[in-house]
Chains A and B, each alone.
Chain A
Amino acid sequence: MTFQWSIIADSIPSLIEGARLSWYIAITGILGGLVLGTVAGLMRIAGTKAVGGHTFGFARVISRFCQITAFCYIELIRGTPIIVQAMFIYFALPMLIEVTTGVRGVRFDAVTAAVITIMINAGAYMAEIVRGAVQSVNKGLIEAGMAMGISKLQLITSIIGPIAFRRAIPPLGNQFIISLKDTSLFIVIGVGELTRQGQEIMASNFRALEIWSAVAVCYLIMTSALALILRLIERRMRKI
């Protein structure tokens, strides 16, 4: 048996199609996850000194509510496998909606379910990254800002945010790559992403060596592209 390059050449069109879908799911999911993660990460530490001091009265109740909500979300997602989450969103969520609200026939197509899964899953991990980055900002800088009489919002957007963002880039990059590779799991809900395309070609010609090599290289190209983008962002920012 020899390594047949022609097999790879023949499979390129469908692999590219799969890779495009994987890339789309990953990027949409990651961007959504970034928003969700930032919100959840900030909620997780709402009203603490890390975001400009303790709160009193009604604001304290709100802060506490935010903290608990974010905590539950993060622990729920980190504590369950992503494949179960995908299955739940695709198969179980429509039933849950029917059971709880009586609305029938709510159903996501597989790609939407995949995007939502990546979003929710990556969001939980990114929330912890955001929390860690924000909490790592020197308390003295926060006090220096507060001492000038700026608002908490200004404090977060002008001082804590930019500093925390720089710190968060390396671990966020890590999570981006993990999420991109996690899209291969959506084979279980029938999304025609890269791994599934590979699986289908394989099933027709049994050339496992060529196909899985090609699939691996496709993932490698995508993760490298993602890493490169992050490196460029990091380089564009001032060293601090």
Chain B
Amino acid sequence: MKPIIEFKDVSKSFGSTEVLHNISLTINENEVIVLVGPSGSGKSTLLRCVNGLEMVTSGDLVVNGIHLPREKGRVREIRKEVGMVFQLFFLFPHMTALENVAFGPRKVRKVSRREAKEIAHDLLEKVGLGDRGHHLPSELSGGQQQRVAIARALAIKPKVMLFDEPTSALDPELREEVLNVMTLLANEGMTMMVVSHEMSFAKKAGTRLLFMDNGRIDEDGEPSELLLNPQTERLQNFLRHVGY
């Protein structure tokens, strides 16, 4: 097992409010981490620290060999190896689905226009949208948009994929199509960090479940085991709240 992301005593503050307290966490290649916790517990912030959308305040965060915050000038190198999927998709509205996916290879990997198009087409095929390439995001359903967003993130050939509540803006029936794509990725061995309350996904595809509360990781274990046997009362309560 090779570590790819390491939090060493990492803290993050917004102004005077500390939202991550001395996090220490090692994530190995091929792990599928599912992060759960109440809102405001710092799960999204933890995720956003990994690709430097939020810069950690103290400690040492090593992503693919680059140390943050010490080497924050190299944050773009990290981002080229870490794909991210957002709750509200954020597809570029002026580009078609195909152009959205081809954008990364063109601009970040500097491949030719034709090659980028091929990559994009293959990835859209993979997420089940091979026939939707010429549509604008506004012409796609939420589930389709999110699948395009996953394809877009995959197009730069990242080593790690971050998912920030990828299904919470979707209808129940649209969630399924997105979760299926994510499960497919997990089965292919992609290293993933997923902030989500989809317990079925955690059990099916997750290799590790982290429960966060108040900026700390309270529980860390194998998903089905942890769901069956929550150690802390907080997690027990939380699981009741999300209806599990």
Q: Mark B56-97, 1 if CB is under 8 A from A, else 0.
A: 000000000000000000001111101110101011111000
Q: Is the CB of B93 within 8 A of A158?
A: no
Give A131 to B221 CA distance when docked, in angstroms.
48
Q: Is the CB of A148 within 8 A of B103?
A: yes
Q: Is the CB of B92 within 8 A of A144?
A: yes
Q: Is the CB of B86 within 8 A of A158?
A: no
Q: Is the CB of A149 within 8 A of B108?
A: yes
A contact residues around B138 at 8 Å (CB) = 239-240
Q: Is the CB of A143 within 8 A of B90?
A: yes
In the complex, the chain A residue whose C-beta lies closest to that of B91 is A144
Give A159 to B90 CA distance when docked, in angstroms.
11
Most buried by B among A144, A150, A166: A144
Q: Is the CB of B104 within 8 A of A240?
A: no
Taking CB atoms and an 8 Å cut-off, the chain B residues in 131-156 that contact chain A are 136, 138, 149, 152-153, 156
Q: Is the CB of B76 within 8 A of A151?
A: yes
Most buried by B among A144, A148, A159, A163: A148
Give A140 to B77 CA distance when docked, in angstroms.
20
In the complex, the chain B residue whose C-beta lies closest to that of A240 is B93
Give A166 to B138 CA distance when docked, in angstroms.
16
Q: Is the CB of A154 within 8 A of B107?
A: yes
Q: Is the CB of B108 within 8 A of A143?
A: no
Q: Does A236 count as interface, using CB distance less than 8 angstroms?
A: no
Knowing A144-B86, A148-B108, A149-B79, say if A162 contacts B94 (CB, 8 Å): yes
> Closest approach, in angstroms, between the C-beta of B46 and any C-beta of chain A?
15
Q: Does B51 count as interface, using CB distance less than 8 angstroms?
A: yes
Give A239 to B103 CA distance when docked, in angstroms.
19
Q: Which of B79, B88, B91, B136 touches A148 (beta carbons < 8 Å)?
A: B79
A contact residues around B79 at 8 Å (CB) = 146-149
Q: Mark A159-186, 1 if CB is under 8 A from B, else 0.
A: 1001100100000000000000000000
B contact residues around A158 at 8 Å (CB) = 103, 107
In the complex, the chain B residue whose C-beta lies closest to that of A158 is B107
A contact residues around B156 at 8 Å (CB) = 148-149
Q: Is the CB of B104 within 8 A of A148?
A: yes
Q: Does B184 count as interface, using CB distance less than 8 angstroms?
A: no
> Closest approach, in angstroms, between the C-beta of A204 and any C-beta of chain B?
55
> Closest approach, in angstroms, between the C-beta of B123 and any C-beta of chain A?
14
The interface on chain B, measured as residues whose beta carbon lies within 8 A of the other chain's beta carbons, has a size of: 27
In the complex, the chain A residue whose C-beta lies closest to that of B79 is A149
> Closest approach, in angstroms, between the C-beta of B194 and any C-beta of chain A?
15
Q: Is the CB of A149 within 8 A of B103?
A: no
> Closest approach, in angstroms, between the C-beta of B134 and any C-beta of chain A?
11
Give A166 to B93 CA distance when docked, in angstroms.
11
Give A138 to B77 CA distance when docked, in angstroms.
24
Q: Is the CB of A140 within 8 A of B76?
A: no
Q: Is the CB of B90 within 8 A of A144?
A: yes
Q: Does B53 count as interface, using CB distance less than 8 angstroms?
A: yes
Give A150 to B108 CA distance when docked, in angstroms.
6
> Closest approach, in angstroms, between the C-beta of A155 and any C-beta of chain B?
9
Q: Is the CB of A140 within 8 A of B94?
A: no
Q: Is the CB of B93 within 8 A of A163?
A: yes
Knowing A154-B107, A158-B107, A240-B138, say if A149 contacts B76 (CB, 8 Å): yes
Knowing A158-B107, A240-B138, say if A146 contacts B53 (CB, 8 Å): yes
In the complex, the chain B residue whose C-beta lies closest to that of A145 is B92
B contact residues around A144 at 8 Å (CB) = 84, 86, 90-92, 149
Q: Does A235 count as interface, using CB distance less than 8 angstroms?
A: no
Q: Is the CB of A143 within 8 A of B53?
A: yes
Give A158 to B53 CA distance when docked, in angstroms.
19
Most buried by A among B86, B91, B94: B94
Knowing A140-B88, A149-B80, A163-B93, say if A238 contacts B136 (CB, 8 Å): yes
User: Given A145-B92, A239-B136, 13 more contacts at CB 8 Å?
Assistant: A143-B53, A144-B86, A147-B153, A148-B103, A148-B152, A149-B76, A149-B77, A150-B107, A158-B103, A158-B107, A163-B93, A166-B94, A240-B94
- Would you list the 3 A-B pairs with minimal beta carbon distance, nearest first? A149-B79, A149-B80, A144-B90
